[in-house]
Amino acid sequence: MIIVACPGQGSQTPGFLTPWLEVPEYRTHLEQLSEFAGMDLVAHGTTSNADTIRDTAVAQPLIVAASLLAWQALSASADTRSVSLAGHSVGEFAAASAAGVLTPADALSLVRVRGEAMADAAASEPTGMVAVVGGSESDVLEAIAQADLEPANMNGAGQIVAAGSSASLALLAENAPRGSRVIALQVAGAFHTRYMLPAVETLRAAAASVAATDPTHTLWTNRDGTTITSGIVYRDLLVGQVSSPVRWDLCMAAFQAAGITGLIELAPAGALTGIAKRGLRGIPTVAVKTPEDLAAAVELLSSELPDA
């Protein structure tokens, strides 16, 4: 079983789409996705600086569009009908579109609403996120609770992301659990926590008018690492996900239980394959960062074919 994974916010870097746009058909596709998102994703993926693409309202549509661009390229190069799909945080919108739950237009229009609503919620008071790497899980969770923070991302492989007020984050950094490192993340707010509840209501109103069809692929949810067969249920989970923890650790455990044989991460790739190398040891991974990486992804997919 091959998992195709769509990354979340923070995976973007300045100019990361430049190699893709050297291919005319990819440029044309990204221009179409830009229309769906209502912003110039070509510019943001090539010439916009780090501060611009760090803005939540820009970063989220850009990341989802990049994953959809890579998905189209991969699907044109290989048979992807048997793969399973999963997304990390906002990457779930790309996974939903790849699985046919949402059209690309609806996925990007909702992500635009999501990004703007989360940016507005983050602006109401100083909040942020840190990655706690290492230490025992119980010690890390206890330290997070004592600092009045929330575990926003349970990424597995010894990485938990804590989120909350800036003062509480500073307290955690000063009292890091034994054997751990506390690393500040370049995000604008405490995503996947109670601080995002206003954004949930905004996204729920927008999602109510969007059709959702049942997935054409096996589709995993960040909520608890289970598979979802109802498009409407998955759409509702996408809304609630904004203020609830991302359980990528449960997703990886479920991948293992289901017999994962490889993981392909779509652009802007790197974060999830990095986690997989620690949390899914021995499982082949491919990070599709540029069109040149497609050949390795196709080779991994071909290893699943009966006559391979």
Active site residues: 89, 192
Quick one: angle between helices 197-207 and 231-240, nearest 10?
150
Tokens 């540029």 belong to which residue? 290
Nearest to 251 by CA among 4, 60, 61: 4
User: Which residue in the block uniquely carries the two structure tokens 């919108």?
Assistant: 93
Pairing of strands 127-134, 159-165: antiparallel
Describe the chain by its helix, strand, coil percentages, rounded to 5: 50, 15, 35
Sheet (strand 127-134) strand order: 150-156, 159-165, 127-134, 180-184
Query: Is the distance from CB of 285 to CB of 276 less than 8 angstroms?
Result: yes
Q: Nearest 5°: CA angle at 252, between 292 and 94?
A: 50
Side-chain-side CA neighbours of residue 109 (13 Å): 15
Joined tokens for residue 102: 């949402």
| Contact (Cβ atoms closer than 8 angstroms) between residue 205 and residue 92 | no
Q: Which of 277, 274, 292 is nearest to 7 (CA)?
A: 274
